[in-house]
Structure 1
Amino acid sequence: MKKVLSIAGSDCSGGAGIQADIKTIIAHGSYAMTVITVLTAQNTTGVYGIAEVANSFVENQLECVFADIFPDAVKIGMVYNAAIIKSIARKLKQHQAHNIVLDPVMVATSGGRLLSDDSIESLKTALMPLADLITPNIPEAECLCGFAIHSRADMVRAAKEIAKTYEGSILIKGGHLFESADDFLLIQKVGYGEEIWFPGIKIDNPNTHGTGCTLSSAIACNLAAGDEIAAAVKKAKDYVSGALLAHLDLGNGSGPLDHGFQMTRG
C-alpha cells in the first residue's frame, strides 16, 4: 500500500483540509497520514476561527511520521504562518521527501483568509522550491505572478512568470474563469518542458467546498502510485469531476464533495 502524507489544516466540518485529504487518499487505496498545522472552526458558510499549532509541534509530528512510516508522496495545504512554513521546509529537506504537491492555500471557498500576510514570501522562498508541483487557483496564481488573470492566455503568461523563480511544474486551475474551466499545466523537469491544457466543463453544482484540497491530494496519490505528472493530474481531475457529479448536498453554504462516490455508487 502506498503511503501519502497530508500537511494541512483541520476542517471540523469535514469538507476541506485534513479531513478531505484523508477521504481522498482512502478512496485511492492509499494509506493516509497527517500533520496538522492549524485548527479551524469552519463550516460550509465560512471560517469562524483559527488556532495555530506551535511550529515546534508541527516539527514533532513530521519527525514521528518520517521516522516510522516514510511517505511515498506529500501533499501540503494550509500552512498559515512563516514559522510553520520554515519548520515544514526544514523537515522535508532533512528527510529528503519526494513527490511533493503544494496547494498554496490562501483563501477558502467560502471566502475566509487562510494565509497570513507575512507568510506569502516564506511560501515562495522556503516551501515552493521543494515542491514537484504547485496547484494554485486563479486568485492564488495572481498573488504569485503579480498580475490579474482573465483568460487562458493570461494563465499561460502567469505560469511562465511564476516559472522564472520556481523550477517545478505548475498547474493553474481555471475554475474561476468565466469563459471556461480549463486547467493549464506547465511541466518543468531538467532538460524537459511541456505545456498541456486539460479541458474542463462547468459542472452545475454549487457545492465545491474542498475541491482544491481534494485535487492536490488525488494528484499526490497518483504520483505515489508511479504516475508521471500529466497522468497524475488527468486522473485526479477525473476523480474530482466524479465527486462533483455525485451532487452531494450538505450544509447551508458551499457544501462538500462526495469523496466516496466510487465506493458508494459504483
Structure 2
Amino acid sequence: MIPRILIIAGSDSGGGAGIQADIKTVTMLGGHAMTAITAITAQNTLGVTAVHSVPVEMVLAQIDSVVSDIGVDAVKIGMIGSAATAHAVADRLEALDVPIVFDPVMIATSGSLLADAETIAAFERLMGLASVTTPNLDELEALGGREAVLAHGCHLAEKDGHGEGHDVHDKLFAPNGELVGELIGKRFDTDDTHGTGCTFASALATGLGAGMPIADAFAQAIRFVRIAILSAPHLGNGHGPIGHALGVVPFDEIEG
C-alpha cells in the first residue's frame, strides 16, 4: 500500500517551504500526502509578511477527518502555529501508533520568526511523542542542545546545513546518544535553500511510513534534499526554493 503521510504544518504562499514543499516531497518519494494546515503565511523568497493561525478546532478537524477514513502510516509536524495548537495536536497524536517526525520550526530561512517563546516551550510535548526530531543547529541550541532533545526519548537528526566548513556532516543519534547514521557531503555555495528543513522532515516521514529502517530513511532524506538543492529553479530575489522535481542528479556528484 502507498505510504499515507499526514503533514501538520503551515502554508507557504511562495511555494518553497511548508505544506507546499511537504506535498511535493511526499509525492516525489511515492507517498500519499494529507494535510492539517496550522497557519496561513504570506511569504516569498525575501521573508514572511503576514501569519494567520488556523483555529485549534479546525486543525483537529482536519486530523480527525484524515485518520477516520484514509488512515495514517507516518506523521510529519512542521510549523505548529501556537502553543494551544501544539498541546491539542499532542493530545490527538497520543492515540496513533505510527512514526512521528517533528521539525521544530522556529525561524524561516529568510530569518522571519515563526514561533514565539510559549509555542517553543510547548515543543516539549511533541518531542516526547516524536520518533525523531529534526532541528537545524540554531533550533537545536534553542531546544537546549543534543542531550536535552534526546532526553525526550526520540531520535535526533542533527542537520549541519547552517554550519561552517567545506563539508556538511549530518548525523542521526538514537535516544541513548549512539550515533546510528552519518552522511558527509560538500557544502553547496547557494542561497537557494528555502524549504530544505521541511523537505528533509517530510522525506524522512515518507521513508518511515514506507517501513524503512530509520537509518535508511535518514540517508534517503538527506540525499533527496541535496538533489533538490542542486536542482533549484533560481526563483525570486532572496532565498530561493529548492527544486523537488527538476531533474535527477547522480548520487556520486552529490556526495563528492
Give the TM bin, normalised by the shorter chain: over 0.9
Residue by residue over 1:3-47, the C-alpha shift from the partner in whole angstroms, topping out at 9 and shown as x without a partner, is 111100000110000000000011011111000000000000000
Gaps of 5+ in 1: 146-157
Distance of 1:53 and 1:246 partners within structure 2: 33
Deviation (angstroms), 1:262: 4.7
Aligned residue in 1 for 2:83: 82
Matched position secondary structure for 1:181: strand
CA-based RMSD of the aligned residues comes to 1.8
Contact 1:20/1:213 (<8 A) preserved: yes
Matched position secondary structure for 1:74: strand
Matched position secondary structure for 1:113: coil
Deviation (angstroms), 1:203: 1.3
Matched position secondary structure for 2:21: helix
Contact 1:15/1:256 (<8 A) preserved: yes
Aligned residue in 2 for 1:134: 133
Distance of 2:6 and 2:195 partners within structure 1: 17
Verify: 1:196 aligned to 2:181, yes or no: yes
Distance 1:202 1:46, change over 3 A: same
Distance of 1:137 and 1:98 partners within structure 2: 24
Distance of 1:14 and 1:97 partners within structure 2: 31
Gaps of 5+ in 2: 251-256
Residue by residue over 1:228-261, the C-alpha shift from the partner in whole angstroms, topping out at 9 and shown as x without a partner, is 1111010111111111111321111111111113
Verify: 1:99 aligned to 2:86, yes or no: no
Distance of 2:213 and 2:175 partners within structure 1: 12
Equivalent of 1:255 in 240, 246, 250: 240
Distance of 2:9 and 2:185 partners within structure 1: 27
Residue by residue over 1:104-123, the C-alpha shift from the partner in whole angstroms, topping out at 9 and shown as x without a partner, is 00000000000111111111
Name the TM-score, length of structure 1 as normaliser. Answer: 0.89
Deviation (angstroms), 1:162: 2.6
**1:76 partner amino acid:** I
Which 10-residue stretch deviates more, 213-222 or 198-207? 198-207
**Matched-pair identity in %:** 42
**1:100 partner amino acid:** I
Verify: 1:239 aligned to 2:224, yes or no: yes
Contact 2:231/2:244 (<8 A) preserved: no
Matched position secondary structure for 1:227: coil
Matched position secondary structure for 2:219: helix
Aligned residue in 1 for 2:161: 175
Matched position secondary structure for 1:118: helix
Aligned residue in 1 for 2:149: 162
Distance 1:38 1:61, change over 3 A: same
Distance of 2:227 and 2:248 partners within structure 1: 12
Matched position secondary structure for 1:205: coil
Aligned residue in 2 for 1:17: 18
Matched position secondary structure for 2:143: helix
Contact 1:205/1:247 (<8 A) preserved: no
Contact 1:45/1:252 (<8 A) preserved: yes
Deviation (angstroms), 1:225: 1.2
Distance of 1:194 and 1:244 partners within structure 2: 26
Name the TM-score, length of structure 2 as normaliser. Answer: 0.92
Distance of 1:161 and 1:60 partners within structure 2: 32
**2:182 partner amino acid:** W
Matched position secondary structure for 2:186: coil
Contact 1:74/1:97 (<8 A) preserved: no
Give the ranges of 4+ consecutive aligned residues of structure 1 lying more than 2 Å apart after TM superposition: 192-197, 261-265
Aligned residue in 2 for 1:155: none
